[in-house]
Structure 1
């Protein structure tokens, strides 16, 4: 991976020169890819992630959108304090470090931000992990057994031992390679990486448990209890 920064007056792009050549702002426009008939689907949530077929390979384009009460004032704009502090740039740099250190994350390809006055918008283009589905999709399809949850626990422990804090660990940010069973974590917006400083994962695990209970309430699915135990066994194993 060879990160390069291209900073202009109104926009800036940081990208992996080993993967991307001559990046342009249109690469980060959903309308551009729709016009190319390159959109192959979208991720659940706020509608901010598109699955693309690009000349560089299968990709995910995620634009950054606000949630909760801040979205009432601005859906996709943030206060500008410097290109390297924009959310896409920060996540690109973080993913690049995690990927280089061998952690199971998608490879970042390019981060983009454009500025208007004191506000900016941004987007991230990254590798689409082949053959993967979200943990919540496996739960919905009744394909998530104790063995899978144990692997999820092992994966989360690996990140925590490496010094990685995930800011929003939920069932949609855990991907599983169905053919091979490998587990990945995605969406590291606002995440942190401090190599050599293991993370106390209690808050992450509580967040994931709340997400599981939302998608898989124990009142209707008592098997969630055994699944969570398997995850903790994998995590502490």
Structure 2
């Protein structure tokens, strides 16, 4: 994940907004960066990674990226599916997520490295996108537990890793079995930090865990091939608790 290069933060104004980017990845940026058609190779996918709406896998011949456009969910999406109320640059969904990713990446946590993010303002509304480096050869936890032989201590290690995020104060707004990604070495990664934040310790930690548990129960209830049980959840909780005992 190009950890040898220090992640930088540059903000550049555009005609209708701004772009925040890491200039060790992109030396120059423009709004075209967020258009899939401007890339050498681009592939649309709505299934392989978490998040709302479609994403694009991009390839410039050297590095691989993921481009995500911000879409609304719930009832409000029927009125405005990708526009947000303008409250200032630092409160845009894209800039907040980019900076949250930078914070977590600098803590050496397993997250995608942020590459660039933008917003385009139109009167009192804005639209936004974010680009991250693609995590090599990962699949959602939901797919992994349905298709793979689960290694020993997998759930324990997953709980330990989630605790590591919580220790740093990360509130993930949608911790589920799709936003946890598993690589070939069975290491877990966390993606999709839209509406995430850094918080003081509180009940939100248990709320995060409850959301993940509900996601796993729903998946296992709908697919008999899924390898998951209450015993696995207890293993996850054991790993979670052990992190804080040793922190």
TM-score w.r.t. the length of structure 1 is: 0.89
Q: 1:198 to 1:89 in 2, by over 3 A?
A: same
**2:45 is the alignment partner of 1:42:** yes
Alpha-carbon distance, 1:31 to partner: 3.7
CA distance in 1, matches of 2:141, 2:227: 18
Partner residue, 2:26: 20
Aligned pair partner of 2:216 in 197, 212, 219: 212
Instruction: Tell me how far apart the structure 1 counterparts of residues 138 and 95 of structure 2 sit (CA, whole Å).
Output: 25
Structure 1 residues not aligned, in runs of 5+: none
Go from structure 1 to structure 2 and tell me whether the alpha carbon gap of 1:120 and 1:219 turns closer, same or farther (over 3 Å shift).
closer
Give me the whole-angstrom Cα distance separating, in 1, the residues matched to 2:87 and 2:57. 30
The residue that corresponds to 2:187 in the other structure is 182
Identify the match of residue 128 of structure 1 among 134, 137, 152.
Answer: 134
List gaps (5 residues or longer) in structure 2.
1-6, 243-247
For residues 189 and 102 of structure 2, what CA distance do their matches in structure 1 show?
15
Aligned to 1:161: 167
Q: Secondary structure at the match of 1:121?
A: strand
RMSD: 2.1
Asked if the contact 2:11/2:19 (under 8 Å) is kept, the reply is yes
**Residue 55 of structure 1: CA displacement?**
4.9
Is contact 1:135–1:176 with CA below 8 Å preserved after alignment? yes
Shift of 1:82: 1.5
Q: How many residues align?
A: 231
1:234 equivalent in structure 2: 239
User: Which structure 1 residue ranges, 4+ long, deviate > 6 Å from structure 2?
Assistant: none
TM-score (norm 2): 0.86
Shift of 1:15: 0.3
Q: 1:109 aligns with which of 109, 115, 118?
A: 115
- 1:225 pairs with one of 230, 233, 237: 230
Kindly indicate whether the alpha-carbon contact (under 8 Å) linking 2:146 and 2:227 is maintained by their aligned counterparts in 1. Answer: no
